[in-house]
Amino acid sequence: WAASGAPEGASGEVRVYRSAEPGAHVRERGSDVHTGDLALEAGTVLGPPQIGLLAAIGRGSVRVRPRPRVVVMSTGSELTQPGEVLAEGQIYDSNSFALAAAARDAGAISYRVGAITDDADALRATIEDQLIRADILVTTGGVSVGAYDVVKEALSSVGDQDVHGSGIDFRKLAMQPGKPQGFGSIGPDHTPLLALPGNPVSSYVSFELFVRPAIRALMGMREVRRPTVRTTLETGAAVSSPAGRRQFLRGRYDAEKRTVSTVGGSGSHLIAALAHADCLIVIPEDTVLAEPGTQLEVVLLG
């Protein structure tokens, strides 16, 4: 009897009708995790259960990879901030907001820098100022064939020629959208910099293909890319694609039917269609016409 006094009518005797077995109701040492067992694999994301396990085995501290700090900046004298009145020839800066959110979604700590004018000196100064807090730098715009491509102008000659990978290399990739790209490292610590195109869909697709994997690799994640599935194209008409380029179309994936349909047109400025898409439909380089019923790969964005 556990109380301080015996209940009324109690005899003060405890009768045991079944013999106690040795070890019953005793938790043996090592029954959960044995000495020498691998408690958690490298690359495991630490959530409440994992932190509880570490505490249970007596680990007061473990080595972890920090969330990368990603600085995102848009370029273009035509850009203005949302909420302000548009002047003639101006558009709102959507890229820096979208990509800062994408960086957070990938697991990074993101910093958004206001739009930078088409001035090479101003861009170089801003990048130099941001290097102190950046593990990755991301720029959008100024890498294509515009009248004045400020990013190419500002960054083509930076870097240490004696250090492999130093400096920024600008290429034209066999993909659509997102053909013009820049990549490399900059600054005394050789901070990675990815220069993405300026059209909204181009910049987002480029981020998903190149920046997101870089962020997750720095985090030590085992899976750095978005999941993909093979599915059936369900459209009312055939979908054309440029020969020799891998095209990424916005789409809606039906997991129950295992089909995918296109959303909006293929223009790289059509961000409204992107906002209603949950996947990217991949049209291979050797396909110029994808008929309804074609089996294609899709990149799941959700």
d(CA 99, CA 207): 7
**Does the domain spanning 69-218 belong to CATH 3.40.50.980?**
no
Among 22-36, 174-188, 220-234, 237-251, the range scoring the smallest mean pLDDT is 22-36
pTM for the whole structure = 0.85
Reported as type and span, the H/E element at residue 122 is helix 120-130
Domain ranges of the chain: 69-218, 228-300
| pLDDT tens string 48-85 | 999 999 999 999 999 999 999 999 999 999 999 999 99
Structure tokens at 137: 């730098």
How would you label 59-86 residue by residue, b for 16+ Cβ within 10 Å and e otherwise?
A: eeeeeeeebbbbbbbbbbebbbeeeeee
Q: Is 42's pLDDT higher than 90?
A: no
pLDDT recorded at residue 6: 65
Q: In terms of pLDDT, which residue wins out, 99 or 114?
A: 99
The pLDDT score that the predictor gives to residue 148 is 66
> What class is the 228-300 domain?
mainly beta
pLDDT of residue 5: 65
